């Protein structure tokens, strides 16, 4: 784990006597800005901690050359003062967070978990040779969608493609392999043993992490709940920030007795 970049910082303190510490974990080739729209709608009771992970936009590719990237999830959790009550993880980090927490001692787990657009398969037989070819083929498209959603002004298709190629090449073949390895391990994760409230959020139009797989994962979790967002792809917290924040607030209200009132806006 040495030589790779990890930064965890308190982005926003809570207001009130009973704060809920929430740690957010971005996906592959993303950054903490992924959660900006959610943070604007988050309940005042949330004490927001944000991680910049080695596989983010500012990281070098060395993270992918050795070791298990799931170990970085534990390292990020260890940097939250007082411990995280809730972990909110997107995409690649959602896979890693599920794997890490399922194998962690109960005392080291948060009180609740939110998995956003997770990659998960319930059975090893669900993977085929053409599955690997499919994900290798669409790897660049994930970055194109992320860049398009994050852009204030819509870039031309050519510019978008060129930017996505740069991101893809920065992640590199080792980065893709770490993603694929974590996905392949998902059927062997002790999902039934993760006995804590887990909210699984998926976009019904997600072309990358199949919403059907998210539904199977939520069903396999002892306290799993699926939130399927309409008119939404792989980035629910950006594409549908209002419904996404509402779903998180319901989780907090139901399981952590945290206030769920927060200003929401359309989305």
Boundaries of domain holding 244 = 7-255
Q: Let me know if residue 118 belongs to a domain.
A: yes
pLDDT at 4: 65
DSSP SS3 for 260:
coil
Q: Let me know if residue 262 belongs to a domain.
A: no
Q: Let me know if residue 264 belongs to a domain.
A: no
pLDDT at 80: 97
pLDDT at 118: 98
Averages of pLDDT over runs of 10 residues in the chain (267 residues) are 78 89 97 94 96 89 90 96 97 98 95 98 96 94 91 85 92 96 97 97 97 97 98 97 97 80 50
pLDDT at 263: 47
pLDDT at 259: 55
Q: Let me know if residue 45 belongs to a domain.
A: yes
CATH code of 98's domain: 3.40.50.1820
Domains identified in the chain, total number = 1
Rounded Cα distance, 44 and 62, in Å: 37
59, with CB counted inside 10 A (0-12, 13-18, 19+), is buried
Q: Let me know if residue 178 belongs to a domain.
A: yes
């Amino acid at each position: 784990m040495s030589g790779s970049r990890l930064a965890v910082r308190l982005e926003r303190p809570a207001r009130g006597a009973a704060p809920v510490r929430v740690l957010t974990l971005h996906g592959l080739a993303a950054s903490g800005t992924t959660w900006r729209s959610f943070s604007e709608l988050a309940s005042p009771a949330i004490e927001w901690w944000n991680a910049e992970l080695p596989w983010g936009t500012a990281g070098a590719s060395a993270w992918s050359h050795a070791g298990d990237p799931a170990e970085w999830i534990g390292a990020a959790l260890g940097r939250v003062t007082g411990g995280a009550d809730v972990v909110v993880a997107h995409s690649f980090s959602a896979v890693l967070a599920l794997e890490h927490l399922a194998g962690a001692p109960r005392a080291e787990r948060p009180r609740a978990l939110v998995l956003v657009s997770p990659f998960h398969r319930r059975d090893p037989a669900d993977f085929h040779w053409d599955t690997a070819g499919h994900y290798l083929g669409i790897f660049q498209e994930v970055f194109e969608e992320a860049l398009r959603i994050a852009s204030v002004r819509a870039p031309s298709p050519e510019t978008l493609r060129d930017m996505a190629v740069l991101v893809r090449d920065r992640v590199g073949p080792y980065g893709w392999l770490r993603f694929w390895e974590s996905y392949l391990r998902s059927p062997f994760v002790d999902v039934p043993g993760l006995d804590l409230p887990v909210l699984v959020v998926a976009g019904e139009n997600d072309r990358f992490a199949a919403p059907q797989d998210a539904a199977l994962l939520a069903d396999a979790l002892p306290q799993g709940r699926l939130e399927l967002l309409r008119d939404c792809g792989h980035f629910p917290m950006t594409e549908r920030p209002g419904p996404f924040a509402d779903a998180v607030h319901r989780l907090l209200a139901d399981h952590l007795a945290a206030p769920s009132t927060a200003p929401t806006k359309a989305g």
